[in-house]
Amino acid sequence: MMNPYRKSVIWIASIGIIVALVYYFPNLFVNGKTLYKLGLNCYNSGEHGDYEDWDKMRRAAFYFEKAVNKGYTQKDVYSYLTHCYHVLSDETNEEKVYTLAIIQYPTDAEFHFYRGDCRKKLKNYQGAFDDFDSIIKQNPSANTSMMLIMTEAP
CATH number of the domain bearing residue 35: 1.25.40.10
Average pLDDT over residues 24-50: 86
pLDDT band at 153 (very low <50, low <70, confident <90, very high): very low
Check residues 40 and 152 and name the one with the higher pLDDT.
40
> Are 59 and 18 contained in the same domain?
no
For residues 78 and 135, state if they share a domain: yes
**More confident of the two residues 101 and 142:** 101
pLDDT score, position 146 = 52
Instruction: Assign 3-state DSSP to the chain and report helix, strand, coil percentages, each to 5.
Output: 75, 0, 25
Q: How confident is the model at residue 48 (pLDDT cuts 50, 70, 90)?
A: confident
pLDDT, tens digit, for every residue of 74-92?
A: 999 999 999 999 999 999 9
pLDDT for 147 equals 54
Residues 48 and 12 in one domain: no
Q: Which domain holds residue 52?
A: 29-150
Do 132 and 115 form a contact (C-beta atoms < 8 A)? no
Q: How many whole angstroms separate alpha carbon 112 and alpha carbon 146?
A: 12
pLDDT tier for residue 131 given thresholds of 50, 70 and 90:
very high
pLDDT of 27 higher than 80: no
Question: How many domains is the chain partitioned into structurally?
Answer: 2
Calpha distance 96→146 (Å, rounded): 22
45-72 average pLDDT score: 91
Average pLDDT over residues 109-124: 94
Hey, what long-range contacts does 60-67 have (CB within 8 A, 24 or more apart)?
60/84, 61/85, 61/88, 63/35, 63/36, 63/38, 63/39, 64/35, 64/36, 64/39, 66/27, 66/32, 66/35, 66/39, 67/32, 67/33, 67/35, 67/36, 67/39
Per-residue confidence (pLDDT) for residue 150, from 0 to 100: 54
